Amino acid sequence: MPVVTSRFRPPFFLRNGHLQTILPVLLPRRFQVTYQRERMELEDGDFLNLDWIHAGSDRLAILSHGLEGSSEDCRGMATLLRWAGWDVLAWNFRSCGGELNRFARFYHSGDTADLDALVQFTALTYSQIVLVGVSLGGNILLKYLGERPPHPSIVAAVAISVPVDLTSTAAALDHRWSNRLYLNRFIHSLLAKVQKKALNFPDHYDLRGSRLIRTFRQFDDRYTAPIHGFRDAADYWRQSSSLQYLQGITVPTLLLNACDDPFLTPECFPYTEAKQNPYLFLEAPESGGHVGFIDLANGLERWCERHVVEFLARVAARKPA
């Protein structure tokens, strides 16, 4: 049965979705691993900043971050994967990682082309590739795996805290008062990026009234949708949601979504799809928040990071190198 019974059991005082979500931000960890940066030039003339950790392996883990994040958010996962013998590539979406990209466009929740370009590039060197994505990065990962047969070098994937239904998630963030803190933080970061973009692309970014934007619907209607070729926010969310692609996944894939994730709605727990697809493993612990999963068993290390390494080790061991 691809619906997995979770072993995540945080202490009682950490069984709160908001606390699990906020605690890792308030108490960040320090890591001794060092990234090596490489710039990848894309066929359309833009670029991606790639951050590598080389372990001398012929197996590679590609890590995809969340909304307005960067490769820095992946250091915990990268560290454990490095210790487990994987080479690691944490990539920054266009306009993320401290450097704006060259074009008016930036990144969005359903853009799988850059991930495909990364896979094609790295498959020239690595015999096995696994994909790990969190939040928005997880949605991109799942959509990529399901919309067409993936590259044969991909042997497994894990997606964590994923809004597989973008319409309901946007509504939850826009209208739940308990999510106001997260919403304001995201909108502030996105608007700051838009203001920088407008300096180079004034014809694409009309800033009049932008300070009145308070919701994802307003932002995506005004900027994300038209800049990336969608009719409006609703069209963008509909086309970009990975939920409709889950039945097409053909490599072992773990989807880990906590039931108390403040960003997610019931639509983001695809039990039916998991029961119908033997490659899709859905794990929904009662607690964990949004990319939290702190149980203090190993200090501030996130339980999900070790869980990912264990899942990938089991799956990759079954695949010939």
Catalytic residue among 65, 228, 290, 307: 290
44 catalytic residue (yes or no):
no
CA-based nearest residue to 83, from 57, 122, 49, 119:
57
Catalytic residue among 64, 261, 287, 295: 261
176 is written with which tokens? Answer: 């739940």
| Contact predicate 263/140, CB 8 Å | no
d(CA 295, CA 12): 10
Burial class of residue 259, CB neighbours in 10 A (0-12, 13-18, 19+): middle
First to last CA, the chain: 27
Burial class of residue 203, CB neighbours in 10 A (0-12, 13-18, 19+): exposed
Identify the residue whose tokens are 């991909």. 154
54 catalytic residue (yes or no):
no
Catalytic residue among 70, 71, 135, 240: 135
CA-based nearest residue to 267, from 244, 236, 289, 285:
244
153 is written with which tokens? Answer: 């070098």
220 catalytic residue (yes or no):
no
- DSSP-assigned letter for residue 26: H
d(CA 255, CA 285): 11
With a CB cutoff of 8 Å and minimum separation 6, the contacts of 288 are 8, 10, 17, 20, 161, 256, 258, 259, 260, 261, 303, 304
With a CB cutoff of 8 Å and minimum separation 6, the contacts of 129 are 59, 60, 61, 62, 119, 122, 123, 151, 153, 154, 155
Which residues are identified as catalytic? 135, 261, 290
